[in-house]
A and B are shown apart, each in its own frame.
Chain A
């Protein structure tokens, strides 16, 4: 690329700034007109002019690599924009549209600028396409990364939320399990249960699986492991909340729960746990 064509882009950006902003704004607003107005026109105008400004400064030195230091402010600005849009629920195409909708106005102005120089126009168009494509891809990368972070954080939160160990009575713990049991979750469940057994010195732990939608061989094996580990530490386990379908599944799968005490409901399990720890609850006349 010759030095003269190299300088065309920043020159056009500078000399036709207000026209570019106006046309680009129109392009962008057409993207958003169909969806709900998530974006305020004033904000968009501000972002638009800021981006053009930064891009003009960045390309002035003739840099074409968007990972270079010249582009650092452009990258920062795009990251911010992409992150904000990702968090406020913009779709990927709406996010990408910010950069890609600049193409049409920019190309038409480049064409006017190069007027009769067909070869020069081809070169400069190619350079501009490449540059905008890279910037667009960068925007999408940040968008995706932000989404991934959100998913990872939610997974972690879910993991913590779904494994509470409750103290029901002196020496009796309960672990209400909710959701599908996979290996990672069972490991967390097992660890937190055993840790609580040590802390509270509980003799009986009730694992309630009312909230577990399906039980397969793997889940059953995980449950058995938890029960065995608790027994090794000196605490007995009761499994409660086994629904009729799950009872059938367990028998059909040939899983042997013979060594484990099972009860239909948490209430039954609690009564058994009281017996095991030598305690009892008595019924008295209700207070008026």
Chain B
């Protein structure tokens, strides 16, 4: 059975949806993600839906719900990489996801969350890296 992996990146949780989202999978993701947020005390959740090209009203609502739940648990949620077709579908369905923050790609999503992982490397880190 498919499972959506939840990766921990410093104080963020990274969810990449790479399989067709069906209803049970969405419910399972909702359970696991809330559990992981409270376990790790993550400050932010980044959901990458760039490979999701079909949505229905249920999945749309699930994304909104997950974002709302994460907010209750004090974690910022950013949905990144939504495809044009998906965006149009959600708007036509009347699901405008009012409370959800969005970004074009993972990089910009990280920037938005202003996390350690997302900020530009400091001079010290650059020097240590040895590539510059």
Do A and B pair up? The answer is yes
Stretch at the interface among B7-15, B25-33, B37-45, B85-93: B85-93
Are A233 and B96 within 8 A (Cβ)? no
Give A181-201 interface residues, CB cut-off 8 Å to B: 190-191, 194-195, 197-198, 201
Q: A198-B83, A228-B96 are in contact. Are A235 and B104 (CB under 8 A)?
A: yes
Are A234 and B84 within 8 A (Cβ)? no
Q: A194-B84, A228-B96 are in contact. Are A234 and B104 (CB under 8 A)?
A: yes
Are A229 and B104 within 8 A (Cβ)? no
Bound-state Cα–Cα, A203 to B103, Å:
8
Answer yes or no: B115 CB below 8 A from chain A CBs.
no
Give B42-84 interface residues, CB cut-off 8 Å to A: 79-84
Minimum Cβ distance to chain A for residue B123 (Å): 20
Answer yes or no: A1 CB below 8 A from chain B CBs.
no
Are A234 and B108 within 8 A (Cβ)? yes
Bound-state Cα–Cα, A225 to B102, Å:
16
Which residues of chain A have C-beta atoms less than 8 A from B21's C-beta?
A: none
Minimum Cβ distance to chain A for residue B108 (Å): 6
Are A201 and B105 within 8 A (Cβ)? yes
Are A228 and B91 within 8 A (Cβ)? yes
Bitwise, A221-240 to B at CB < 8 A (1) or not (0) is 00001001111111100000
- Interface residues on chain A, number (Cβ under 8 Å): 18
Are B84 and A231 within 8 A (Cβ)? no
Are A234 and B82 within 8 A (Cβ)? yes
Bound-state Cα–Cα, A94 to B81, Å:
59
Answer yes or no: B4 CB below 8 A from chain A CBs.
no
Are B80 and A191 within 8 A (Cβ)? no
Minimum Cβ distance to chain B for residue A196 (Å): 9
Minimum Cβ distance to chain A for residue B106 (Å): 11
The total number of A-B Cβ pairs within 8 Å is 56
Bound-state Cα–Cα, A233 to B84, Å:
7
Which residues of chain A have C-beta atoms less than 8 A from B97's C-beta?
A: 232
> Which among B80, B88, B90, B108 is the interface contact of A190 at CB below 8 angstroms?
B88
Minimum Cβ distance to chain B for residue A25 (Å): 61
Are A191 and B102 within 8 A (Cβ)? no
> Which among B83, B88, B102 is the interface contact of A231 at CB below 8 angstroms?
B102
Q: Which of A195, A232, A233 has the most CB of B within 10 A?
A: A232
Bound-state Cα–Cα, A235 to B96, Å:
14
Closest-by-CB residue of A relative to B104 is A234
Bitwise, A201-245 to B at CB < 8 A (1) or not (0) is 111000000000000000000000100111111110000000000
Residues of A within 8 A of B (CB): 190-191, 194-195, 197-198, 201-203, 225, 228-235
Residues of B within 8 A of A (CB): 79-84, 86-88, 90-92, 96-97, 102-105, 108-109
User: Closest 8 CB pairs between A and B?
Assistant: A194-B84, A234-B103, A234-B102, A229-B87, A234-B104, A232-B87, A229-B91, A233-B82
Known: A201-B105, A232-B96, A234-B80. 11 other contacts (CB 8 A): A191-B88, A194-B88, A201-B104, A201-B108, A229-B88, A229-B90, A232-B79, A232-B82, A233-B104, A234-B81, A234-B103
